[in-house]
Amino acid sequence: MANNTIAVLRQMLASLDDAKKYQSLRDVMSTMNAPDLAAVFEDLPEEKMPVLFRLCPKDLAADVFAELSPETQEALIRGLTDRELKSVVEELCVDDATDLVEEMPASVVKRILAQAEPDTRKMINELLKYPEDSAGGVMTTEFMELAPDWTVRSAMDAIRQNGIDKETINNCYVTRKDRTLVGVVSLRALVLEKNEQRPVEELSVVTSTDREDAAQLIEKYGYLALPVVDKENRLVGILTVDDAISILQDEASEDIAKMNAMTPSDKPYFKQSMRDVYKSRIPWLLFLMLSATFSSLVIRGYESALAAVTVLTAYIPMLTDAGGNAGSQSTSTIIRSMAVGDITPHDLPRIIWRECRVALMCGVTLAVCNFFKMLLLDRIAAPVALVVCVTLIFTVLLSQLIGVLLPVIAEKFKIDPAVMASPLITTIVDTTTLLIYFNVAKMVLHI
């Protein structure tokens, strides 16, 4: 249904210069939600953006703006008057306004801050002080505070009076005069409490901050918002569930990029220039190419063995691929488990024992199947087939062991485990596989 509405809106925009049916456009837009409207803006020519934005219902315009990519936001700002920009900035949640300021060029930031109210400008500057990867860097300061000695009735009165300007009122935060956090009370608890004279402190519960950890707390416990406190336990903001979802998506995208040997980018694919894509890929490609030199050195060192039994060369790709795949599977599993908190570096002995048993089962299964395949289909002599299959077992075992150790060691030393993923594992495994292969061949075939 939403896709049909988007298609209709795009058709109307295509004929806007001829028809100029602004009221019809406004009627269609009023039925849409912010993410769908933002998708329409992303495809618009820059000159049409301000026209469509002015037709957005006022209560929807800021939500649409917050959903746009930084590049589209910048293009739209260029077409807005100072008065229109002021209206947008004031309607944005403070955390969204802060994100906007962080993403924009200096000239645009200067214009944005010039249109913001002094209080808004002060809150934006406060949030900019926090590191980008901290909970403080993504929190909002627009939350509902209650005093511990307020009654349920006075708390409800305060929510009715001030809640309209807050990002969420589902959870309210009980704080003392010095803003020390006492606890959290849900709106549900206040509404269902029969004793209107009961102090809100009796209904509150305390919850306890890297931004990814905070986002995972929201995901794990189903919170709609999480309080962010400073070192003195003073409440400075809240992290809401929509921000948590964005954080987890960003972290997942970053990990995927690193696991595939690319520099992470926060831009959509088609918003990246070819130069950006090139710069994100070439450093790792150069590193991996140069690191493959070790494999070449191993092969050169065993040229005499290869010359004696040339058929060994044919099975090098199969062995290195099997080792790389086994290592990648193990690494991906470990990185994912650490990301969601299932395992920690302290679990390393248990992890190694478990992965070694799995590796032996996988390696033996592959070796048995490959042995009969080499004898029956490839018509290879049994001693050569034995060399390949024994190597296969050791390769899978060693690959999965390396695949476990590297991410856990990286986590222990505060390095992103994703850096230790597939491409790097494959490079290391290729070299070790060749060493195992040629040494087994020398022992079994006496070459």
Q: What is the pLDDT of residue 320?
A: 86
> For 134-145, how does the pLDDT look when each residue is reduced to its tens digit (9 = 90+)?
555 566 667 788
Q: Span 386-398, mean pLDDT?
A: 92
Amino acid (1-letter code) at residue 177: K
Residue 365 has pLDDT above 90, yes or no: yes
Highest mean pLDDT (candidates 2-16, 58-72, 265-279): 58-72
Residue 187 has pLDDT above 90, yes or no: no
Cβ neighbour number for residue 326 with a 10 Å cutoff: 28
Q: What is the pLDDT of residue 79?
A: 82
Cα separation, 94 vs 142, whole angstroms: 7
The answer to whether 316 and 434 have CB atoms below 8 angstroms apart is: yes
pTM for the structure as a whole: 0.52
Residue 199 has pLDDT above 70, yes or no: yes
Q: Which residues contact 177 (CB under 8 A, 6 or more apart)?
A: 147
Amino acid (1-letter code) at residue 28: V
What's the chain look like in SS3? CHHHHHHHHHHHHHCHHHHCCHHHHHHHHCCCCHHHHHHHHHCCCHHHHHHHHHHCCHHHHHHHHHHCCHHHHHHHHHHCCHHHHHHHHHHCCHHHHHHHHHHCCHHHHHHHHHHCCHHHHHHHHHHHCCCCCCHHHHCECCCCEECCCCEHHHHHHHHHHHHHHCCCCCEEEEECCCCEEEEEEEHHHHHHCCCCCCEHHHHCECCCCCHHHHHHHHHHHCCCEEEEECCCCEEEEEEEHHHHHHHHHHHHHHHHHHHCCCCCCCCCHHHCCHHHHHHHHHHHHHHHHHHCHHHHHHHHHCHHHHHHCHHHHHHHHHHHHHHHHHHHHHHHHHHHHHHCCCCCHHHHHHHHHHHHHHHHHHHHHHHHHHHHHHHHCCCCCHHHHHHHHHHHHHHHHHHHHHHHHHHHHHHHCCCCHHHHCHHHHHHHHHHHHHHHHHHHHHHHHCC
Task: Look over the chain and give the mean of its residue pLDDT values, rounded to a whole number.
Answer: 75
> For 66-83, how does the pLDDT look when each residue is reduced to its tens digit (9 = 90+)?
788 878 888 888 888 888
Residue of higher predicted confidence among 345 and 300: 345
Residue of higher predicted confidence among 330 and 15: 330
Q: What is the pLDDT of residue 254?
A: 60
Q: Span 16-38, mean pLDDT?
A: 70
Q: What is the pLDDT of residue 19?
A: 47
Cα separation, 431 vs 436, whole angstroms: 9
Q: Which residues contact 78 (CB under 8 A, 6 or more apart)?
A: 46
Residue of higher predicted confidence among 375 and 71: 375
Cα separation, 56 vs 2, whole angstroms: 17
Residue 219 has pLDDT above 60, yes or no: no
> For 208-217, how does the pLDDT look when each residue is reduced to its tens digit (9 = 90+)?
445 556 555 5
**At CA 249, angle to CA 245 and CA 255, rounded to 5?**
145
List, edge to edge, every strand of the sheet that includes 145-146.
145-146, 171-175, 181-186
Alpha-carbon distances of 438 from 135, 253, 259, 330, rounded to whole Å:
52, 39, 30, 25
- The confidence band for 370, taking pLDDT boundaries of 50, 70 and 90, is very high
Residue 403 has pLDDT above 80, yes or no: yes
Length of the chain: 447
